[in-house]
Amino acid sequence: MDLGLTGRTVIVTGASGGIGREIARGFAAEGADVVLTYHRSQEGAERLAKEIDGRSLVAPYALDDDGSAQGLVETVLEWSGRVDVLVNNAVHWGAAEPEPDLPFEAVSDERWQKMIRANVEGTLRLSRAVVPPMRERGWGRMVHISSSIAVDGMPGGEYYGAAKAALHGFSRSAAFGLGKAGDILSNVVMPGFTRTETNIEMVEQAGGHYSALAPIGRLLDAAEVAGAVVYLGSAANTGITGQAIKVTGGA
């Protein structure tokens, strides 16, 4: 199937590791020009740029920096003159990842507020910044990477789940506003616990539990999640918009 991505410019935030790496690889394999953003791991993003086929740009981006989104879009427009696809994959954990044993009411105000603000405001800020060039061309795709935690829940995931759930409401309404401006679609993808290059230790510890919850009896790997993201962000997707889609192996 021709996904109609050749020559299109795709921004993948958080592309230096985890699922983001495979999303970037997937778009590049379809002939897209891929912008690989990073927050801390510039080395990882530059290494990925050398690994993938095709044209790519490595650029810094920080969810918690108010000016970062506009700066990124300006850099991309100078580089390619267009923004066709945005994949909001970057995540801001705050001080650390969720702590299952810490009651959510014991989390400091600074920590939970930073997580909510960075993840929600940062993602919406970048989404707003890419819309003008999409409206100008009358074509665009936005895919927001959420988490099954947003609908299934997890001890310690209260604030992360809240931040990700906010993307669902935004994307649903944005689909209506954008659809009137042309072929511009917005969707959410919810991965479950996914096998990546960066979570091998976690997979060894907890993979069996999550595999048992899936009808297929195993974890998905990052490339399988990326396949769904690439399709939703492609020209082959002509009618799926405003949806929040689980990619969890059925769990």
8 A C-beta contact, residue 28 and residue 5: no
Q: Which of 38, 160, 210, 231 is catalytic?
A: 160
Residues in CB range of 118: below 8 A, 6 or more apart: 63, 64, 92, 94
Q: Are strands 183-191 and 33-38 parallel, antiparallel or unpaired?
A: unpaired
H-helix or E-strand spanning residue 43 = helix 42-51
In the chain, the amino acid numbered 36 is: L
Give 33's strand partners.
9
8 A C-beta contact, residue 240 and residue 185: yes
Tell me the two tokens of residue 46: 């530059």
In whole angstroms, how far apart are CA 22 and each of 15, 26, 163, 212? 8, 6, 23, 24
Is 160 part of the annotated catalytic residue set? yes
Catalytic positions are: 160
